[in-house]
Amino acid sequence: MNDAKSSTATATTATAKQPLAPVGRFAPSPTGPLHLGSLVAATGSYLDARHGGGRWLLRIEDLDTARNMPGAEATIRATLQSFGFRPDGAVLRQSERLPRYLSAIQILAEAGRVFHCGCSRRDIAAATATAAGGGAGARAGDEPRCVGRCRERRIDPAQAALRASLEGLAPRCVQDRSGREIRFNPEVHTDVVIRRRDGVIAYQLAVIVDDAEQGISDVVRGGDLLPSTAWQLALQQALSLPTPRYLHLPVITEPDGSKLAKSRRSLPLDPATATESLCRALTLLNQPLPPASRQATLEALWDWAIAHWDPAAATARSTVSA
């Protein structure tokens, strides 16, 4: 925990001031090869860091070992290399950082926030279904809350997730760099899973511990992660970690607006057509292409794209059809 500063402001505040040189990151899970959606996220974060003369770090989010695919990390790194991405520094692998996450849980426990939750998916689904009208539903953002008053009950730890209560934290509202408001409200965001029932450290916890430790100044990622940000603001506050600036890129969809599926638009990236795929990613990010882009070398294309990076154009739409 290299920085104890944290905003507890209750009013709308901008996130951390942009430092001289940004530090960005790309954080794939090794569950399969990279596809167009991941290329768009990697490209946006890379251009943002490099345009500002900053660093770009690679993090492998491999905590969910049941979903990891053998060899996928090597494939991802080789693909990034062949597409011309050049990560700075050592690769951070979440599976090697368990002690860091456990010490964060310890800090939350010492603050009296941690409790075992025995609610099953079925309990949560049932509570959601009975909460007619949605206002008092079991879900806030993409994180189901504890619905069983588990904090007040004796729960078998072997059958339970660990949650952090967010009670008493200050409400926060930050704007991401495209001006979209992200609100954390402890009356809505009451608690969050920090270690899953199967023992896996939860994404929301790992990501903020890692962002802080890697000194990430600018998180640039897909808009599908926008709902996660409120939880991350809360946990940053609870752990006195800094809040980076956020930029949420458009969600890439199928032409009918549905989630990008395993169609020809979402095949594994082919290094043989790297230039063409990068042009496609730049177009999806609403970035200008150089004249005669099809004939450009990969290096020339990157130089152009870095020089012309326009985050406002990239985030002008919240979804874009592949």
Instruction: Name the site residues for Zn ion (rule: CB under 5 A).
Output: 117, 119, 146, 148, 150
Q: How far is the CB of 114 from Zn ion (least distance, A)?
A: 13
As measured in angstroms, the least distance from the Cβ of 153 to Zn ion is 8
Least separation, in Å, of the C-beta of 103 and Zn ion?
A: 24
Nearer to Zn ion, 8 or 159 (CB): 159
Which residues, in sequence order, are bridge partners of residue 23?
55
Q: Where are the alpha helices (DSSP H) in 93-178?
A: 98-110, 121-130
Question: Three-state DSSP class for 227?
Answer: helix
- The type of residue at 112 is G
Give the shortest CB-145-to-Zn ion separation in angstroms: 8
Strand pairing category for 181-184 and 172-175: antiparallel
Q: For residues 9 and 43, is the Cβ–Cβ distance under 8 A?
A: no
Nearer to Zn ion, 32 or 148 (CB): 148
Looking at the Cβ atoms of 35 and 195, the one nearer to Zn ion is 195
CB nearer to Zn ion: pick between 75 and 120? 120
What is the distance between the alpha carbons of residues 187 and 149, in angstroms, rounded to a whole number? 15
Residue among 134, 137, 184 nearest 164 (CA): 184
Compute the least distance from the CB of residue 148 to Zn ion, in Å.
4
> Which residues have CB under 8 Å from 269's CB, separation 6+?
33, 34, 35, 36, 38, 39, 79, 83, 277
Q: Which is nearer to Zn ion, 140 or 146 (CB)?
A: 146
